Amino acid sequence: MNKHNMTTEKGIPSNSRVLMLFGQLEKLNRESMLVDPEIARQITAKVLHLIQTQEKTRKEIMSKASSGMEVILATLENTQDLQTILNILYILNELLTVGGGRRIGVFVSKGGTGILLQLVIRASKESPPSEEFMLQLHSVLAKVGPKDRKFGVKARLNGALNVTVNLLKQNLQNHKLLLPCLLVLQVYSSNTVNAVSLGKNGVVELMFRIIGPYSKKNTSLLKVSLDTLGALLKSKTNAQRAVVHVPVLLYIYQDWHRNDTRHRHILIRKGILGCLKNITNIKLGRKAFIDADGMRILYNTSNECLPVRTLDPLINTSSLIMRKCFPKNRLPLSTIKSVFHHQLLRVPAGGPVAQLYNQPLGVDDVVDESDNNEDAEAENDTENEVEEKYRHAGNDDVETDINKLRPKETHSRPFEELKIYERFFMELSEDFQVFNFDNPKRGVTATPAAPKSHRPIIVPTAQALPLKTPTAAPLQGECPHPAPVPALGLDTINITKDQDGCGDHTHSRSHPGAGLEQELVQGLERVALDGAGPQGGGGGVNKHNRQPPILAGAVAARLGGEGEEMSAEDWAEEEESDEGAVLHVPDTALLLPLHDPDLYMEMVKSTRSVPQFSEVAYPDYFGHVAPTSREHILERVYGVQRTKIFQDIERLIHPNDILDKVVYDLDIQSCTVVDGGESLKFNSQFESGNLRKAVQVRKFEYDLVLNSDINSNHYHQWFYFEVSGMRVGAPYRFNIINCEKSNSQFNYGMQVLMYSVQEAISGRPRWVRTGTDICYYKNHFSRSSIAAGGQKGKSYYTMTFSMTFNHKDDVCYFAYHYPYTYTTLKMHLQKLEALRTPQTYLREDVLCETLGGNSCPLLTITAMPESTSNDQICQFRNRPLVFLSSRVHPGETNASWVMKGTLEFLMGSSPLAHSLREAYIFKIVPMLNPDGVVNGNHRCSLSGEDLNRQWQNPSPELHPTIYHTKSLLQYLAAIQRAPLVFCDYHGHSRKKNVFMYGCSLKETVWETNISATSCELHEDLGYRTLPKILSQMAPAFSMASCSFVVERSKEATARVVVWREIGVQRSYTMESTLCGCDQGKYKGLQIGTRELEEMGAQFCVALLRLKRLTSPLKLRNHAHLLDVESDLMETRCKVSSNPSTYLLEDEEASFMEEVDYSAESGDEPDTADNHLSESNNHRDSLT
């Protein structure tokens, strides 16, 4: 070897002794070891001595510039002398034991693995093979194998696999040799094909001969044996072979649990559980586990481990096994289709709705009978990992067709078709000649420019549907129970602000003081609509038409005055009087200028629902005043999820403790049975309500089932229901058991919302964040493959929370987010119109009627011209348009609260609001899906489809609101007046903060591997301007969370279609979190209506700044715009007193409680069993 090859890196002398020895060894290699092998033994022995005594020598050999490793491997490959080989193996063991993966990587890169495997084959041909040789060889292989990705394949092709297995079988009592062989076998087993081959060779049964009950001896060997067995059992075929050993594993686990009192062998116990976990991935394994009483064994041992924090890994794995083996149950429903039905006159040609209508009678759509193809949903307890998976899955969804990323140059509809929409744009042609500018107060009432149009574009489907008018309700219901209580209509409720009414108190009670609390609960259950007693008819489900519950006289007696209790004498006097009930409505007129209970009750009568709701929820009637205090994101209590899961498991272990009592069921027409107050009472039969069934599981625990969207069999997320009959201080637990999403912000600090009627009447009418021990995890209720898009083995998820009530005889409401009903919108719009000033141009049109017969309002807001001069009229007509829409998804109620903030700001009297009206003409569709909102849907309209996936080709019969909204935009594009900004308000259930999705050709291409020329990627960056302005002004807004990538799955959404087809560069979806913020001024706080309305107002303020930035240069310094800029700066300083700190990713920190809450593990066919490629990867996508 020449000196150049043997030089070393700086700092190490080139004439060192080890390099001299390597030079001699290299010379021997060139001579093919023809000389006396004793020389090679001596040289390698000296090298070994230097390595064992000098760390510097090890560094010399493994340095980058050294060729020492090549010399060692060449010697190992050429020599036939056993002692020389042993010396080199000793050297390799010394070198690779320290230094981490880098040294092993060098060894692998130089072909060391192949040489070692050849030695295994060579040694196997000797009879018997040298024990020391095999020991050292497998020791080195055990170190090298995990770092060589091809190790398993090389060993199988080379034949070393069988050599190791035979060596293992022949040396079961030789623990010294057994340990390295098992380590190598464990690495072999990481390859699926190898694992199957080893199983056929009897290695699984061999492992069960090695492992055994508790012993203080050979614990290291037992640990490695369990790890090797666990690796083998990842194969479905091997798991089937091990099913018969499940009782043995449970016995061994119990024995180690019982004897390992000092917890020194946690890894052994965890290894046993790991084997059980892999066996129970298959159906036979789960059955064997149940038959061997595994549930009780793991439950008891886990409970005994709870006091010791270091045993959490055992508890978590046990929990996973138990949940996986919990027998699959069907939801307690006869069908997962919505309990309400709306007959479509035209059924879509394909898709889920068509499948629903074509489904044969008798097909069980509740549960999938075969669960042997369960897919492994790898969920994690950290939101960042879930988001990362979501992001990677999204990369495959990015649009790669350049042609689809360019705006269309031709309009798809002829102008003659669009001319009918001209009447919605009267402001573009109005000359205001009849408006009295000298006396604007008179002019406001007489102006023809801002009429309230009630002429909708009639959709044939909506026109054909019979409109339901509730008929008068009888005084007494048809309930066959004694002592019926007369109904009290709206007109007989005394609103204490102004009027008295009369009620019918003809019924009598034998004991006036008795039953007061029960009567009070009945009285507080809900407000009944005047004369709202549906008697049947099409559109709804007749079997659910029932007499409305009542507001009894007990309300006034119990909650009169300041909510003080009345004596029995007072109660009796009140009972005998002829006066009706007095409902004390909290006076919130100053705090809620847009809310009026009287007006709400008037408006709700014209709201049409499929179930023909005849009741009004108290929160919608009283209104909501945002709390003055901030509501912090809930800190997760350590172990809460585990505790909840164990309580679920107890249902199987102690079935006699389960009541399983149905206390509320929309599927069954029956009257509520008085049960002595042992159960809560539920109700959801009011606008936007959603609760289908309530089952009392234990004394204070209830399973709740949500209703599917109408004409659908899924979309379970939104809930809004009433609870009464509670006990003060009792620890109630509520489980919503048919959630569908794989993760939720309920795992990251979000709380449910509760509204207390007692609190409202006491002067605090508000929704508050509440609930403790909140978590979200996969449960044992099986999802039908029909509802899961054909995927088998899917499970539902449980959202669980605990609650204690503070008031006796209260009526409380729970909701997913702050409710905002269609009737609330109608009330707000009427109140806004009353606030209009002479300088404000406001017109409300009815765009169209929905499938359910509700009107879809369209607003036009701008500033009146200062005069009828040509300049003023020209300026008025040529203002740029801003098009806003909201609430296409009914469950995203936060979008309506943001829209409320926008509308209030636009109609306000501030200088900024006036400037904004002068700058733009606003066209606003505040609720794109009234039917979905009214009927308590989460995502769909009455057509059973997601309206925000219909923008490419909306149907006027099935999607009228989308069809006509798109037509408005098409009309504007046809007359060259496309909006400057289009924004669709939404809510986001998985992320924090407020952020935007936009559309960018460049940013989409950057996310893909497609090639494009610079001219093809030419794009104005103006689409980023508005989000950047918002990030500077709005404390809840996060620029870091924004995305401008166009995905294939979103190509039919409003944002993408308006960008592509209408040519609006600034086309956005603005997403508001349902949870809270993790940056800026509101960091660590849950979002409330105050913050949402503020966001809507800040959006308006940002549009003002955008106006200045998009104005021609000569106008940017105009005095008016400079004044506006000054106001904007002041506003920004006030809002951003606590500057936002933007994170690169809006993700969560890991929980201390590392619980894998996926209830299933993979039960997929083995790749080897099906002779598939070893590199076949399975990825779960979040939907």
Rounded Cα distance between 1153 and 465, Å, is 54
Nearest Cα to Cα of residue 964 among 467, 255, 447, 459: 459
Arithmetic mean of pLDDT, 818-841: 95
**pLDDT confidence band for 810 (50 / 70 / 90):** very high
User: What pLDDT shows up at residue 173?
Assistant: 86
Q: What is the pLDDT of residue 406?
A: 67
Helices (H), ranges, 243-311:
246-259, 266-279, 283-291, 294-305
- Give the DSSP letter of residue 1047: B
Measured CA to CA, the distance from residue 935 to residue 611 in angstroms comes to: 8
The residue written with tokens 């300026």 in the block is 875
pLDDT confidence of 1034, banded at 50, 70, 90? very high
Q: Which amino acid is at 598?
A: D
- The answer to whether residue 443 scores a pLDDT higher than 80 is no
Strand, helix or coil for residue 74: helix
pLDDT at position 575 is 39
Residue identified by tokens 């095999």 is: 134
Greater model confidence, 363 or 240: 240
Cα of first residue to Cα of last residue in the chain, in angstroms, is: 63
The answer to whether 1153 is a known catalytic residue is: no
Give the C-alpha distances (Å, rounded to integers) separating 277 from 314, 319, 764, 1182: 12, 10, 51, 24
Among 91-100, 110-119, 1173-1182, where is mean pLDDT lowest? Answer: 1173-1182
Q: Residues 446-493: pLDDT tens digits?
A: 333 444 444 555 544 333 333 333 333 332 333 333 333 233 233 333
Q: Which carries the bigger pLDDT value, residue 1013 or residue 725?
A: 725
**Dist CA 340 CA 542 (whole Å):** 9
Return the closest-CA partner of residue 1107 out of 878, 920, 901: 920
pLDDT the model gives residue 604: 95
Partnered with residue 797 across adjacent β-strands are 739, 778
List the one residue out of 288, 334, 653, 674 whose CA is nearest residue 480: 674
Return d(Cα 828, Cα 279) in angstroms, integer: 60
Instruction: Please tell me whether residue 1101 adopts helix, strand or coil conformation.
Output: helix
> How far apart are alpha carbons 934 and 850 in whole angstroms?
11
What Cα–Cα distance (Å) separates residue 1148 from each residue in 480, 995, 1083, 1092, 1141?
55, 17, 12, 22, 15
Measured between alpha carbons, how far is 96 from 972 in angstroms, rounded to an integer? 73
Least confident piece of the model among 63-67, 294-298, 486-490, 675-679? 486-490
The better pLDDT of the pair 67, 7 is held by 67
d(CA 726, CA 702): 12
Residue 1062 DSSP one-character state: I
**pLDDT confidence of residue 362:** 62
pLDDT for position 1138? 35
Determine how β-strand 840-849 pairs with β-strand 855-863.
antiparallel
Measured CA to CA, the distance from residue 416 to residue 421 in angstroms comes to 10
pLDDT in tens, 886-906: 999 999 999 999 999 999 999
* pLDDT tens-digit series, residues 913-940: 999 999 999 999 999 999 999 999 999 9
- In whole numbers, what is the pLDDT of the chain averaged over residues? 79
Length of the chain: 1183
The confidence score (pLDDT) of residue 882 equals: 98
Whether the CB-CB separation of 181 and 220 falls below 8 Å is answered with: no
β-pair partners for 782 = 795
pLDDT band for position 431 (cuts 50, 70, 90): confident
Is the pTM of the predicted complex or chain greater than 0.75?
A: yes
Cα torsion angle, 26, 29, 30, 35, sign: positive
H helical segments located in 396-499: 415-418, 440-446, 460-464
Buried b (16+ CB within 10 A) or exposed e, 68-92: bbbbbbbbbeebebeebbbbbbbbb
Name 883's bridge partners: 923, 982
517, 873, 489, 943: which is closest to 728 by C-alpha? 517
pLDDT at 585: 66
- If we measure between CA atoms, which residue out of 878, 885, 846 comes closest to residue 862? 878
Position 1158 scores a pLDDT of 42
What whole-number percentage of the chain has pLDDT above 70? 73
Rounded Cα distance between 1037 and 1080, Å, is 8
Mean pLDDT to the nearest integer, 177-202 = 91
Tokens representing 308 are 């010791």
Query: d(Cα 2, Cα 1031) in Å, to the nearest integer?
Result: 66
- Range of weakest confidence among 601-610, 805-814, 898-907, 1111-1120: 1111-1120
At what angle are helices 294-305 and 283-291 packed, to 10 degrees? 80
Q: pLDDT band for position 1119 (50/70/90)?
A: low
CA distance linking residue 299 with residue 636, whole number of Å = 24
- Cα(1092)–Cα(753) distance, integer angstroms: 15
Task: Tell me which of 403 and 413 has the higher pLDDT.
Answer: 413
Averaged pLDDT for residues 106-128: 87
pLDDT of residue 526: 43
3-class secondary-structure state, position 735: strand
Check whether the bond before 414 is cis (ω within 30° of 0).
no
> b/e for 328-364, b at 16 or more Cβ within 10 A?
bebbbbebbbbbbebebeebbeeebbeebeeeeeeee
8 phi and psi angles, rounded to 5 deg: -120, 175
Q: What gap in Å lies between CA 603 and CA 890, rounded to an integer?
A: 19
pLDDT above 90 coverage of the chain, percent = 51
Sorting pLDDT into bands at 50, 70 and 90, what band is 1020? confident
Residue 630 has pLDDT above 80, yes or no: yes
DSSP 878: T
Segment of 3-7, 701-705, 782-786 carrying the highest mean pLDDT:
701-705
Strand intervals (E) in 726-788? 732-739, 752-756, 767-770, 772-782
In the chain, the amino acid numbered 1101 is V
Average pLDDT over every residue of 708-725? 94
- pLDDT value at 1039 more than 60: yes
- Across 307-311, 818-822, 885-889, 1165-1169, least confident range: 1165-1169
Is 1173 a residue whose pLDDT tops 70?
no
Q: Among 229-233, 380-384, 412-416, 855-859, where is mean pLDDT lowest? A: 380-384
Q: Is the dihedral of CA 490, 493, 494, 499 positive or negative?
A: positive
Residue of 374, 1071, 1091, 1160 marked active site: 1071
Q: What is the pLDDT of residues 949-962, one digit of tens each?
A: 999 999 999 999 99
DSSP string, 808-859: TT-EEEEESS----HHHHHHHHHHHHHT--TTEEEEEEEEEE-TTS-EEEEE
